[in-house]
Amino acid sequence: MIKRLLLSCACIALITGCATTATVTPPPERPVSETAPTAADAKAYVEAAEAKLGDLSEYAARVAWVRNTYITHDTMWLESKATAAFTEESVRLATGAARFNDVNTDPETRRKLNLLKLSLVVPAADRAGAAAEIADISTRLDSTYATGRFTHKGKTYTLDEASQILATSRDPALLRAMFEGWRTVSVPMKADYARLVGLTNEGAQGLGFADTGALWRSGYDMSPDAFASETDRLWAQVNPFYKNLHCYVRRQLNAHYGDAVQPKHGPIRADLLGNMWAQDWANIYDIVAPKSLPKSAYSLDRLLTQKKYTPEKMMRTGEAFYTSLGLAPLPESFWQRSMITRPRDREVVCHASAWDLDNRDDVRVKMCTQVNAEDFYTIHHELGHNYYQRAYKDQPFLFKNGANDGFHEAIGDFIGLSSVTPVYLNQIGLLDKVPDASEDIPYLLKMALGKIAFLPFSVVVDRWRWEVYSGQITPNRYNERWWQLVNDYQGLTPPGVRPRDAFDPGAKYHVPANVPYTRYFLAHIYQFQFHKAACDQMGWQGPLHRCSIYGRRDVGQKFNAMMEMGASQPWPDALEAFTGTRETDAAAIAAYFAPLNDWLTQENKGQNCGW
């Protein structure tokens, strides 16, 4: 998550806060009767705006933190009021920045003026009541999701409970019940979501963008259309490998469940893939594991249990990875104030997120941590946000952010690539012996079931929203178009006909929470670029998937230098600072998974791949 999100009215999964009191003092503006604004005026405007936003953000963060970790009617009310006021101020500042569009300013001031406009992920129109209505809807949507429950055969299920069944059960009837049951939670969100789309489009148009989707696509130092084309280019690089994986997994599912449940041809039934959104297939490794190859010598889930890891010990292990690179330990306040496990006495937002409450050192993680491999990885990921936040803390307020939102997600995922290698697990004493090369294909298959399976899903979420915001999809076609895109990109289908009133996109947290999702697609490209660059810096000669950067202070020094840049420069500058290249490239993914792709090609010989 990134600071740009924090300046939205949603105020969820924050990196800093996004609320304020209703009484604010505007930055100085020249009277209308005066002459045209100057470069000095623009600089003064930006400095005053940064001071105001900086002052407001700590209050904003604390309001949002309380609502996320203690959901009640009152905390929802407080966040709604605070976010409305903050959004109104942000809209005023962003609109005022347009006054300097034709002023010849210095590059830093121009970048900050642009960032002021791009900071509003969920923009409100510059009129009375617009920000308040958006805040009310956003808080209601988020809390509806967070407190969602459904009933099956007399038992009530939370998302956590349903997800666990999807991960472990092999009963197709029960899998379907959990998959469809959770999607009843999102049905009441549809009207609110459609209203929110109209309101945010009005706000985006007031800032000079065609719609909210165009505003989101403008945050990458290129035009919205150029960015859409860039994501198409990157997806084309990885699509052939995804289709190879899809073909193999479908065949294994067919062998396990039979033609009546999973046909040999066509799309895969989404509920069979071990994840509520079929975005990560690692939980069905037991079904798709190659029978001709040796079984894995270890299970990270079992290792963590056997070594008596607790949620806090997992978190401290994650911190130790970053400090092994030469980065400073987390402050004591992190351990005092973070929510590391789910409280038993109240409703909370369990979706893992990293927070920076004061733009300096009060960083925290909010997780309902379980002792398992998935959360072991997630911890390394979320701490990446915190370490990025601390690295750029000395930048001006508008530059306290990632080079782009994909960078913020990629930092922790880059560390995560090392965190699950047998080499790293051996380095920290979790694994006694590193398996030999005979286990490389099983290891890479497990990784691909998570990393590669995720890529098309990460494209679908925002492709759907871009079409919603542009008006290509009307509310009566929300669900129909969602599943068309899921079929086109992922090659998946629902387990049965969806009801006419279904709103399945809303069953994914980031949709009602209004969190842009293409950042995760970019992060999955960047993380492999970062990993390959780091391993090259080390002089690593072995297979890329066996490289661990744990303990490499030389890598950490260069890594931190990139993070310290924050958003002060266009993202290609930050990419070049660490990798030596200015272009996003999925070639590192091909290099990492090359042995697996060759193996899959052999396994799929004679198969009718595609859907």
Which of 224, 222, 138, 216 has its CA nearest to residue 519?
216
As a whole number of angstroms, the distance between CA 320 and CA 325 comes to: 9
Two structure tokens written together for 291: 């029978």
The answer to whether 382 is a known catalytic residue is: yes
Among candidate residues 510, 524, 531, 545, the one labeled active-site is: 510
* CA triple 496-500-502, angle to 5 deg: 75
Question: Amino acid identity of 197?
Answer: V
Burial 338-370 (b: 16+ CB within 10 A, else e): bbbeeeeeeebbbbbbbbbbbbeebbbbbbbbb
Q: How far apart are the first and last CA of the chain?
A: 34
Distances (CA, A) of 445 to 243, 245, 277, 380, 387: 14, 9, 20, 21, 30
Residues paired with 356 in a beta bridge: 363
As a whole number of angstroms, the distance between CA 297 and CA 138 comes to: 47
Among candidate residues 58, 382, 409, 545, the one labeled active-site is: 382
- Which phi and psi angles does 487 have, rounded to 5°? -65, -45
Which of 160, 204, 165, 273 has its CA nearest to residue 509?
160
Which of 102, 86, 78 has its CA nearest to residue 22?
86
The answer to whether 88 is a known catalytic residue is: no
- Which phi and psi angles does 400 have, rounded to 5°? -80, 75
Q: How many CA atoms lie within 13 A of 312 on its CB side?
A: 6
Q: In sequence order, which ranges of 471-547 are alpha helices (DSSP H)? A: 478-485, 518-538
As a whole number of angstroms, the distance between CA 403 and CA 98 comes to: 23
Element (H, E) at 365: strand 363-366
The CB density around residue 284, as the number of other CB atoms within 10 Å, is 22
**Under 8 Å CB-to-CB from 359, ≥6 apart: which residues?**
16, 54, 57, 58, 393, 397, 400
As a whole number of angstroms, the distance between CA 218 and CA 209 comes to: 9
Distances (CA, A) of 109 to 103, 133, 267, 279, 565: 10, 32, 50, 40, 16
Which of 318, 446, 307 has its CA nearest to residue 382?
318
Q: Which long-range contacts (CB under 8 A, 24 or more apart) does 235-240 make?
A: 235/455, 235/456, 235/459, 235/489, 235/521, 237/585, 237/586, 237/587, 237/589, 237/590, 238/452, 238/455, 238/586, 238/589, 239/456
> Where in the sequence numbering do the catalytic residues fall?
382, 510
